Structure 1
Amino acid sequence: MHQTPTVASRSHTHLLRHFAKSIKLIILTTVVGALIGTLISQFQHPRWLAKMTVQIGQVTMPEQASQPIESQLSATDRYNLPASRLLVLSAMGLPTEVETNRDAKLIFNSLRATPAKGLDLIELEASGYSQDEARAALVASFNVFSAEHQKKFEPALEEMKRELDSTSAKLAAVQADSDRTYESIRSGNTQGSATGNNSHDILLTNTATLINEQIAMLNSKATQLREAISPLRTYPTRILVAPYVPQRPSTPSGKLLIAVGAALGLLVGAAFAALRNPRRV
């Protein structure tokens, strides 16, 4: 059965009167909420969140496809290991007993890696009680993380460089032999065929052919090695996007906490006022 307009009007008027009587309660809960927000803001230390993007290095061997030093998922899991986080604290000169140091605890708990869109990219983040601390934690974590990759990258690169040097030296020696052989052939041609030493000429020609094949092979190998060690195909793990730390902290400001506390207090007061309504229509 629907309420008549008169009954509905009475109910609405009663509700307004009830809230008017409960205005003191609403004001009180609003003030209490604001005070709680103020108290929380006094005990909360501002924190900054630093982020950056890292590209996992790769090594390209001659006549082979490029291979990442470590897979994206494996690198992400390794970065997130507690042992890796403790290494970061040690690198920063912080105690590894995280419960005894506020800065160490925050950094330890905030260090995090997540896979990025690219298959060779990961996102790193760390928090600190200042912009400099957050940035320093992120850089230290990258140094610790990339150190394992350097152990694999540097020997592979040095081995290819040594092979390129050896190939270049062999190529220079073979080219010198080629020059001498062609000089002998030219010298024989200028003397004419008076001596009739055709077998010697054939030997020199065959030797020149073999030398040319060696030169072509060594040139090809040297080219492949140069391409393999070029920075576009072989590179270490590196920072792709520099650490970014916003000017403002990631934690809520004191004013925001006070406003939220007051708003929650207002809602609680209004709810209590509604629940205390003794009259039911």
Structure 2
Amino acid sequence: MAVSRERASLDRLLVHEGGYVNHARDPGGPTNKGVTQRVYDSYRKGKGLAARSVKGITMPEVYDIYDRQYWDAVKGDQLPDGIDYVVLDGAVNSGVRQSVIWLQRALGAAYKGRVDGVLGFSTIEAINAVNNHDALIDRICDIRLNFLRHLNTWSVFGKGWTARVSEVRSIGKSWASGGTPQMASFMDGGQAKGFIEDAQASPSTAPADAAIGAGGSGLGVSGTLTGLQEQLSPLSYASEWVTRIVVILAIVSALLLIGGAGYRWYTNRKTARLTQALGMT
């Protein structure tokens, strides 16, 4: 890949990240130019410098952080044109490991290693075996967007994330095709961090289990009442009331069993979709 791709990628990424933000729903917390306070504190400490607000971060520091902690981490110099930028943007927005997981999943059968978020030799080998880089970029972006949809903050930042991923897709494919992509645009909300720690929780099966248990118990009771009815058959009046109770109880129990089974199917299906979207299979 071209040596100059890192700076060109960062110039577009920094437009997406914008300036200083501290949104209450953003798990990144105080962030400036895409660098969180936590990352900045770690960087300053490693340099033997005193901690300070990320508001005061300088551009040389920004470029140094991106070079060391993101570009080098995703092995940008070893990735094909366009894919380098797409993986870098995902790494800054959702973490290096998560972005590499998206890449590994997008490689499909070409990748023989574990989907572990570590960009090693087997991942590079799989990328080099792929001829259609436009299609690979599409798959990476589709997987990324599906992941973001399953975060608790999607209702807040979903519009911005959707616009950002769409533009990342376009820019990446333009580079992959040998063209010169447009400059990026800032999308409000698109700069919010999308971490897996903020993923939606799997739905509980407790209501389904309770309904199925209650339905089974109800059918058991109705069976007991049926036996009682036989004993009361000489007393036609009492037997008639028992019959009504048995019928009602049987209907309610059956509805509970059916409803519980249906809800359990729904929760299992939703959990499977969530697991797949988050790459936890």
Q: What's the TM-score bracket when you normalise by the shorter of the two chains? A: 0.3 to 0.5
- With a CA cutoff of 8 Å and minimum separation of 6, indicate the structure with the bigger relative contact order: 1
Structure label with greater radius of gyration: 1
- After TM superposition, the score normalised by the length of structure 1 is 0.38
